[in-house]
Amino acid sequence: MGNMTLLREPKQRKLLISAGFSWLFDAMEVGMISFIVTALAVEWQLGAEQIGLLMAINSIGMAAGAAIAGLLADRYGRRSILMWTLIIFSVASGLSALAAGYAMLCVLRFIAGFGLGGELPVASTLVSESVPAAERGRAVVLLESFWAGGWIVAALISYFVIPHYGWRLAFLIGALPVFYALYLRRAIQDSPSYIAQQGNRLSIRKRVASIWSMKHRRATITLWILWFTVVFSYYGMFLWLPSVMVLKGFGLVKSFQYVLIMSIAQLPGYFTAAYCIEKFGRKFVLVAFLVLTAGSALWFGNAETEGGLIAAGICLSFFNLGAWGAMYAYTPELYPTAVRGTGVGFAASFGRIGGIIGPYLVGMLVAGKFEITSIFLIFFITILIGAFAVLIMGKETKGTDPDKETA
């Protein structure tokens, strides 16, 4: 298959799959929390605002993790920070199984979020730097496709485990990746471009100043708008999917089934984006997939029938996750190696603020008896703002080398 050509190189294939599994575990953790809170709401009698707050706290941790891990990855290397973030979120997930009450669970979700938020930008930066420019975008989108695998695993665990064995066992399963970190230590190395820059590390202050310098300011503003709108809408919509299905009149188990079907639709979304990104460029894929995501969100919010909901949900998953893949491929390509971790981490961190506001806003609107239709209209408008920012301000990065541009 054309979009798998990069996997001919054994070292790159190993890196992609190794980093991909850490990405899968990350997604499994995020996916499981959306199912767990649906069960917790019943067991602990949580209101919509409390559920929204619990999800928002997870995202506050992710925002902090993305910024700090990005800074540390430029200082101490991509590989070691990738391993440590994996360990942090796995341990915090396992401890979440022992949570005695709401407040304790909130603290542990913050710590887990810190690890989760840190791991994603570091993994995408490492893969982006380790493959040739001609295959870079495709490689990062394929890395992102492991996210769908994680959501599918989360949906399966939630479908088979939570109803029979409870949510605590689901959290314990989320601790298993800690063992994977030991494997990663031996399996992957830092990227050649990072190793080449070993002698001239910039200070934190210089790195932060660089991403806001005249040279990079436009790229940074574009990325921050893009990340905010994509993360705000994704977490606002997808973390609430099981609950929205219940609100639309479907039972809990039925809702889990539907969300599993919608999650499977993410995979062809990634593979289509992976094919298109090297053929048509980053900007085209981002703008097209975002506009189609916005349309799907509007459709989902207005769907009344079972078939309509599933069809809209499938399209939402397909285009939204394809856009995520393109965004992760695009972001590292706008900065040189010396500040790449910082630039990617800060963009992801700012995006996570959207991930804090999105679910909490939905919680407040649901509690205030707002129509699902008007809630999804907000996401429709937000996603179009992100698409418009890339269209007007974004530059095409296909085949470019930011290190040579700065030389």
pLDDT tens digits, residue range 37-90? Answer: 878 888 888 887 788 788 778 889 999 999 999 999 999 999 999 999 999 999
**Out of 179-188, 219-228, 309-318, least confident range:** 179-188
Dmax over Cα atoms in the chain, in whole Å? 61
pLDDT of the residue at 3: 42
Spatial neighbors of 239 by CB under 8 A, at least 6 apart, are 33, 34, 37, 55, 358, 359
pLDDT of the residue at 4: 44
306-330 and 133-160 helices, crossing angle to 10°: 140
Evaluate whether 226 touches 389 at the Cβ level (below 8 Å).
Answer: yes
- Token digits for 265? 């639709």
The pLDDT of 309-336, averaged and rounded, is 92
Q: Dihedral through CA 340, CA 342, CA 344, CA 348, nearest 10?
A: 180
Domains of the chain with bracketed CATH: 14-181+204-396 (1.20.1250.20)
Name the percent of the chain lying above pLDDT 70: 95
DSSP code, position 5? G
Q: pLDDT band for position 406 (50/70/90)?
A: very low
> b vs e for 10-25, b when ≥16 Cβ sit within 10 Å of the residue's Cβ?
eebeebbebbbbbbbb
pLDDT of the residue at 33: 84
DSSP code, position 131? S
pLDDT of the residue at 1: 37
User: What three-state secondary structure class fits 248?
Assistant: coil
